[in-house]
Amino acid sequence: MAGFILAASPAHADRIEKHFPVQSKPKIMVRNSSGRIQVKAWTKNEVLVAWTNATGKSVVQTEAAGNRVEVSTQADVNGITADDSKTDFEITVPVESELSVRTDSGNVTVDSVHGDMTFDTVGANLQLSDVDGYMVVKTIDGSLLCTRCSGKLEANSISGNVQMIAPTLDSVRVQTSSGNILFDGSFLSRGIYIMKNFSGTIEVHFSSSDSFDVNANSLKGDVINQATFKPDTHGTPHPASKWGHGFIGTMNEGHAKVELSSFSGTIKILKRD
Amino acid sequence: MNMQCEQFEQILEQRDEGALPKPALAHLETCEACRALSADFGAIHDMALELGHDEIAPPERVWISLRNQLEAERLILEPQAAPRSASRASSGWWSVLQHPAVAGAFLGLVLAAASTVGYLSNFAQTSVHSQLAFQQESSPVPAADSVFKEEVLTVGSDSIPGLQRQDTAVTASIRRNMQIVDNFIAICEKSVREQPDNQMAREYLYGAYQQKAELLATAMNRSMPGGLQ
């Protein structure tokens, strides 16, 4: 039976903690309108939720049922401002956990969690480090910094930047309208990497040992390329688009597939130092 | 005589709050597709009831245009008078679509469908405008994408339906990004006009349309009582 707890924060900024015993691979859902959300992993089979609400004008509601833990904030009184409802969370979860985070503003950081994750934000910036799983990010103008991420990443933003640093991702689908995209890592064999924006810069770094097919095209912008590609010899020949600037080619055996496209932004394919 | 799926859909659409008639229930027993449809309608109806009645209703012309289009596409079967306000629309499935959040989600879905159809049907066309003109000549109602373009996509950053948050940062973010998407739409439209056979420009244009619909849905969704629900 589901446990259901309502806990009104006191008027001063006390830290409140709740512990939820779970089994392996719990699912943790967090909904917060404003405030920092920090998620980190530990080896215990327990979820620790700690929060601070400076004004005491929001209520934190928690619910635990088996392997599912839900945390959400609600305004305690009508008409409160974002600052009033700001609630900061520190959540510690088992390494193997699923996450679902929905927030408007305030930064979200996730460290060393392995499991599928979804993030839905308006302006909140998202920082993922050493995570592994299928990650789905939807934001309006929040940025995403993914450091040493593994698995699969889908990210969609309007004006946020997306950076992937030292990733070991085998599937990347990133789209932003006016933001910049940076991929600084290796293209894994059989990996598929699709990066698209409207304006802004798409920058990918490669090493000479990388093996990938590439199709890069910017309709109104430039493509800057430091790689030496040979013609794509895999399957059906794809003629380069007659519109815009770009090329199609293969580096080494072409094991990975890389598609880079922009409407008016610049695409840079740069050699890693 | 056994009821057919079309008859069932008609009954489902016209039903108010009461139970389904026996023939419809019998049809449900044997038709998996209609069971799924009935479940979907029920879920949407329940969600709409939970949303309350204090949202700002979009202009009536939006509903009239949408209703005409849905009738033309046989997504609803019988003409009904367009509801004049959210408070009066307490019966019939059409009332479900009057709630901004549901409508937003619905608009997104239909827009996506319209985009797909438009994308595919435009593939062999040389001009978006000639294609739209053809559709308008052959149909008494405007094409889906033109309806959304005129009625929904022209929603400006100053009049985002339902956006009544007190979180000024979020509101500002949504407005700012709405302007970004509007600018992209304008730029893409210009490109498509200048180069009607440029498939890439058309793909970006539809992508920008979809982003606007999603942004509107997000704005409405974030404005529901309780904020994040």
* A118 within some domain: no
pTM: 0.69
Give the residue numbers in B contacting A (CB under 8 Å), as ranges: 166-170, 173-174, 176-177, 180-181, 184, 187-188, 191, 195, 198-201, 204, 207-208, 211, 215, 218, 222, 226-228
**Beta pairing class for A68-75 and A58-65:** antiparallel
pLDDT of res. B3? 78
- Which residues of chain B does A218 touch, with a Cβ-Cβ cutoff of 8 Å? none
* Structure confidence at residue B31 as a pLDDT band (50, 70, 90): confident
* Structure confidence at residue B229 as a pLDDT band (50, 70, 90): very low
Instruction: Work out the average pLDDT over B65-93.
Output: 46
| % of chain B with per-residue pLDDT over 70 | 39
If you average pLDDT over every residue of chain B, what do you get?
A: 62
* Structure confidence at residue A95 as a pLDDT band (50, 70, 90): very high
Among A102, A137, A161, where does a domain finish?
A: A102
pLDDT of res. B221? 76
For residues A178 and A53, state if they share a domain: no
For residues A267 and A132, state if they share a domain: yes
How many Å apart are CA B63 and CA B71, to the nearest integer? 12
B119 vs A245, residue with greater confidence? A245
Q: Burial, B166: exposed, middle or buried (Cβ in 10 Å; 0-12, 13-18, 19+)? A: middle
For residues A173 and A212, state if they share a domain: yes
Domain count for chain A, please give it: 2
- Nearest residue in chain B measured CA to CA from A31: B228
pLDDT of res. B125? 35
pLDDT of res. B118? 42
Range of A196-205, B135-144, B150-159 with top mean pLDDT: A196-205
Specify the range with the lowest mean pLDDT, choosing from A128-142, A158-172, A225-239, B73-87. Answer: B73-87
Q: Which two tokens stand for residue A52?
A: 């601070």
Q: Is B123 left (phi over 0), alpha (psi -120 to 50) or beta?
A: alpha
Q: How far is CA A185 from CA A127, A169, A172, B55, in A?
A: 17, 9, 12, 47
**DSSP single-letter state for residue A261:** E
Question: Residue B218's closest CA among B182, B183, B171, B184?
Answer: B171
A48 vs B166, residue with greater confidence? A48
Specify the range with the lowest mean pLDDT, choosing from A122-126, A229-233, B28-32, B126-130. Answer: B126-130
Q: Burial, B30: exposed, middle or buried (Cβ in 10 Å; 0-12, 13-18, 19+)? A: exposed
For residue A230, the one-letter residue type is K
Q: Is the pLDDT of residue B116 over 50?
A: no
* Structure confidence at residue B93 as a pLDDT band (50, 70, 90): very low
Nearest to B167 among A72, A104, A140 (CB): A104
pLDDT of res. B218? 83
Q: Is the pLDDT of residue A253 over 60?
A: yes
Report the greatest alpha carbon distance in chain B.
60
For residue A75, the SS3 value is strand
Q: Is the pLDDT of residue A172 over 60?
A: yes
Q: Crossing angle of helices B100-122/B128-138, nearest 10°?
A: 110
* A50 within some domain: yes
CA B73, B77, B79, B82 torsion-angle sign: negative
Q: Do B208 and A177 touch (CB under 8 A)?
A: yes
**Beta pairing class for A37-42 and A201-206:** unpaired
Q: Is the pLDDT of residue B163 over 70?
A: no
How many Å apart are CA B217 and CA B199, to the nearest integer? 27
Q: Is B116 left (phi over 0), alpha (psi -120 to 50) or beta?
A: alpha
Strand ranges, E, within chain B: none
Structural domain range at position A212: 125-273
- Nearest residue in chain A measured CA to CA from B215: A140
CB B24 within 8 A of CB B11: yes
* A135 within some domain: yes
For residues A96 and A165, state if they share a domain: no
CB A180 within 8 A of CB A160: no
User: Where do we find the tokens 């600052």?
Assistant: A83
* Structure confidence at residue B220 as a pLDDT band (50, 70, 90): confident
If you average pLDDT over every residue of chain A, what do you get?
A: 90
For residues A180 and A226, state if they share a domain: yes
Q: Is the pLDDT of residue A1 over 70?
A: no
For residues A93 and A131, state if they share a domain: no
For residues A138 and A194, state if they share a domain: yes
For residues A12 and A55, state if they share a domain: yes
